[in-house]
Structure 1
Amino acid sequence: MDLSHLGTPIRPVVRVHGGFANRVYRLDTDQGSFAVKELNLLDRRWTYHLEDVFRFERAAFDAGIPMPEPIAAGDRTLVHRWVEGEAVPEAPVSAGYAFEIGEILARLHALEVPWPSGSTEDPASQDWSELAERAVATGQPWAEDLAARVDTFVAIADLVDTCERPGPVVLTHGDVQPWNLLAREGRPVVLDWELSGLLDLSGELGSTALSLAKGPGFDDLEPAVFRAVLDGYVAGGGALPPPGPSWFVLMIGGWLGHTRWNILRCLTGVEVGTGPDLALSHASVRNGVRGLPDLFGRLPELQAVLL
């Protein structure tokens, strides 16, 4: 993308490290500061609908949703105005912050924005045994852990494919997680909208509320924070879907796909020019291989405690 319309650079562009899927750079010009996201199109897990996402972002921004101003969208690049704020750690947020996130989701779901029909989830991959064999053969540092849990990963994939989604389907951000949020004066700012699309409401609410109510594991789970997201959603005009396992299947399915994608990147042993660094892919695999079975085993407990 030609970025000359953003002004004359006043310092060299700087990469901002830490992205799980794409790469972000900060561009400072005489017209302001911008976040330039280079999308990974080499081995992506999904098709980006950038024009549709940009239209949705503009509608959300114009409606007052706290987010960076969307500036431009190209074939492989997204540009937003840079927003200063504090990173949100992977730890239970305050109940007030969680309540505001719930209100934001309700406002998003009420927007009337055209979206292409036919957006569906792909079936979960069942090749976990083969992946484990390849990991052992290539000496991956997490290979033994994966090999010991193959049956569990197959069971997780089965759950993702067979769990009934009660609806309704909503157009939404789709990935409201701590790493896609900032805190500005203690209030939320929602980042990284490229995964926006149509989702079952229960999965959207469960994934968001659970991610904000826990730390890296599930031992410090705060049910009051989980409930605050739902209370905020109702206060913002939303209606809650019926309780059930579908509330958690979006998170577990997304984490499953992310883990598999990073396994494939690690198996090549090549530092790809886009997407996360190889070291970050290894870290993501280790987290998924250990964390996913824990989440899967706790699903009945989560339903009982949180819903």
Structure 2
Amino acid sequence: MIRVHGGYANRMYRLDTDQGSFAVKELNLVDRRTTYHLEDVFRFEQAAFAAGIPMPEPISAGDQTLVHRWVEGNKLPEAPVSAAYAFEIGEILARIHALDVEWTDAEIEEPVARDWPELAERAKATGQPWADELASQVETFLAIAQFVDTCERPGPVVLTHRDIQPWNLLARGGRPVVLDWELSGLLDLSSELGSTALSIAKGPGFDDIKPAIFRSVLDGYVAAGGALPPSGPSWFVFMIGGWLGHTRWNILRCLDGVEASTGPELALSHESVRNGLRGLPDMFGRLPQLEALTQVRCGR
């Protein structure tokens, strides 16, 4: 098997055989933030593939590995996608949400960690290159944690992919292919729409958001039979909360100072920490601007 570098949570390999090529994902079970629900996810993937969702064919799910048929395609650049691509993403979301799949594992949402002052002290004591930056943002990260804990989710809750981001998408013939389904589960609809639409409607950072691309996702969702939830901050709370948890997880990996045998390389964890320390406060400060994206489309 040939290692494919760049994964933010697990490790990926390509396996070429006389029966075709396969993507073999070695799951990080050592220091996962949440539990994988592999049996439910595999059943969900099979239903999505059978329904014609553009995705790699799911082959098998074991205790430590996931295997899919290898799919060739172009990685998305760090830039807003085309309106047609965004519209089709919206259609795909509506089709995913319409699937009738039993989900046995209801994930219990834990309170958001508030140990940012302690992490800043440990970062300084261990000489982390981003220690001063973390110390300067402690109060902001505590405010973000409070927002994530208290933000009202209006519903409905849907069974969905939960991580349709540029790094989990390919373009094949200019059309989307959805990768990496292992984080699938139940999620408030507004959070799924907001996270997905925002991620493909912008470039690096938040200075180049294209409202027309954001709205194209919603237009595609409605065109495929979906109904939009009320506008509000809940559209972005899952994205902010997920990024907050991902940043904290990578901080802990960096504080250990030893590259684990699974999961991302230590250098990639440092990069993820820097991205979170700079990007999260920026996103949190722009919440009113982001909410306006949903108000224009929903008329609320």
Pick the TM interval, shorter chain: over 0.9
Return the match for 2:276 from 274, 280, 288. Answer: 288
Q: Does 1:274 align with 2:262?
A: yes
Alignment TM-score, normalising by the size of structure 1: 0.95
Moved over 3 A (4+): none
Equivalent pair of 1:90/1:216 in contact (CA under 8 Å): yes
Residue matched to 1:58: 46
Q: What's the secondary structure of 1:68's corresponding residue? A: coil
Give the counterpart letter for 1:65 in structure 2. Answer: I
Residue matched to 2:197: 209
Q: Does 1:24 align with 2:12?
A: yes
Q: Does 1:112 align with 2:100?
A: yes
CA-CA distance at 1:115 after TM superposition: 0.2
Q: Does 1:101 align with 2:119?
A: no
Equivalent pair of 1:95/1:224 in contact (CA under 8 Å): yes
Residue matched to 1:234: 222
Equivalent pair of 2:23/2:70 in contact (CA under 8 Å): yes
Query: Aligned residue pairs: how many?
Result: 295
Separation in 2, partners of 1:197, 1:264: 25
Equivalent pair of 2:83/2:212 in contact (CA under 8 Å): yes
CA-CA distance at 1:242 after TM superposition: 0.2
Q: What's the secondary structure of 1:34's corresponding residue? A: strand
Q: What's the secondary structure of 2:16's corresponding residue? A: strand
Structure 1: gaps (5+ residues): 1-12
Give the counterpart letter for 1:113 in structure 2. Answer: V
Equivalent pair of 1:223/1:306 in contact (CA under 8 Å): no
Give the counterpart letter for 2:208 in structure 1. Answer: D
Separation in 2, partners of 1:117, 1:34: 28
CA-CA distance at 1:306 after TM superposition: 4.2
Percent identity, aligned pairs only?
A: 80
Q: Does 1:14 align with 2:14?
A: no
Equivalent pair of 2:232/2:294 in contact (CA under 8 Å): no
What do the CA deviations read for 1:162-187 (whole angstroms, capped 9, x no partner)?
00000000000000000000000000
Separation in 1, partners of 2:88, 2:101: 22
Structure 2: gaps (5+ residues): 296-300
Residue matched to 1:167: 155
Show the 5 A alignment for 1:10-89: 13-89=1-77
CA-CA distance at 1:117 after TM superposition: 5.0
Provide the aligned C-alpha RMSD in A.
Answer: 0.7
Separation in 2, partners of 1:144, 1:36: 39
Q: What's the secondary structure of 1:60's corresponding residue? A: helix
Separation in 2, partners of 1:174, 1:153: 23
Q: What's the secondary structure of 1:156's corresponding residue? A: helix
Residue matched to 1:191: 179
